[in-house]
Amino acid sequence: MPDSRAIVILTGAGISAESGLATFRGPGGLWEGHRVEDVCTPRALARDPALVHRFYDLRRAALETVLPNAAHHALARLEREWPGDLLLVTQNVDDLHERAGSRALVHMHGALRSALCAACGHRRDWQGSLPPGTACPACAAPAMRPDIVFFEEIPYHMEEIEAALARAGLFVSIGTSGAVYPAAGFVRMARACGARTLELNLEPSAGSGWFDEVRHGPASEIVPRWVGDHLAAHP
Ligand code: OAD
């Protein structure tokens, strides 16, 4: 039975676009200049660790130059003011949600400001560049890698996310193309369990037809407006 006050929000690269971070797909997208299989698969990391580490070093450095925008701030406001459960699930590896103040947050595709030991699984906060061969502070293996979920790897926090989707009364998808599973399937999971579903995106996503309501426009405009509407409608 869904809990009408439980909300799950999924975000993607579109929510950070107006902060100045490139999305993945479309003109100027990160995958336009790179083949995904060259930078975002376990095979790529084994074949050309310098290329993969450099790609993520540049992404990590870009975080220094950007700030959360009105959409990130609006979701942090919703978490502060909403009386029910709220889980923010982001596919983004940037840290703009936490810098805006969101705390009930999981990074299902990992995080740029984290490094992972491929040998022992030790994880630690990371700033600056991460050269291939960096020694693990826990086991000393020269195996620290970006803590990013590559294609063919299993996204993080899936049990917690699926449990939250099963009891959500409302599922909201923001700034994601709906091209990458399992996140692209969350709308159907939430619907099947009885949630109302809302898409907030610049344009219709691949899964737009699965949503009860769609609002299209730039996230910095439509997300604060929706948060204001939602809080006003459920005082
Ligand atoms: P995409 O680049 O696939 O999609 C971004 C979506 O945001 C598109 O539908 C755009 O229309 C929309 N968009 C762009 N600017 C926007 C704006 N200002 N306001 C609102 N929406 C806007 O990014 P994701 O869906 O996040 O995975 O991609 C999913 C995953 O694919 C990523 O997490 C990444 C990538 O491969 C990994 O790296 C593991």
| Mean pLDDT, the chain, integer | 95
Q: What is the pLDDT of residue 235?
A: 78
Catalytic residue among 72, 109, 157, 234: 109
Q: Where are the alpha helices (DSSP H) in 139-210?
A: 158-167, 186-192
Q: How far does residue 231's CA lie from ligand 1's centre (Å)?
A: 26
The verdict on whether 109 is a catalytic residue reads yes
Whether the Cβ atoms of residue 123 and residue 117 lie closer than 8 Å to each other: yes
pLDDT at 227 over 90: yes
Tell me the per-residue pLDDT of 126-160, one tens digit each, with 9 for 90 and over.
999 999 999 999 999 999 999 999 999 999 999 99
Question: Going from the N-terminus, what domains does the chain have, and what CATH number goes with each?
Answer: 1-21+67-109+155-235 (3.40.50.1220), 22-65+111-148 (3.30.1600.10)
Q: What is the pTM of this model?
A: 0.97
pLDDT confidence band for 89 (50 / 70 / 90): very high
- Name the band, by pLDDT with cuts 50, 70 and 90, for residue 2: confident
Question: Ligand 1: which residues within 6 Å by Cβ?
Answer: 12-14, 17-18, 23-25, 29, 40, 91, 109, 149, 175-177, 179-180, 201-203, 205, 218-219
Across the range 109-131, mean pLDDT stands at 97
Q: Does the pLDDT at position 95 exceed 80?
A: yes
- How many C-beta neighbours within 10 Å does residue 88 have? 24
**Integer Cα distance of 206 and 172 in angstroms:** 15
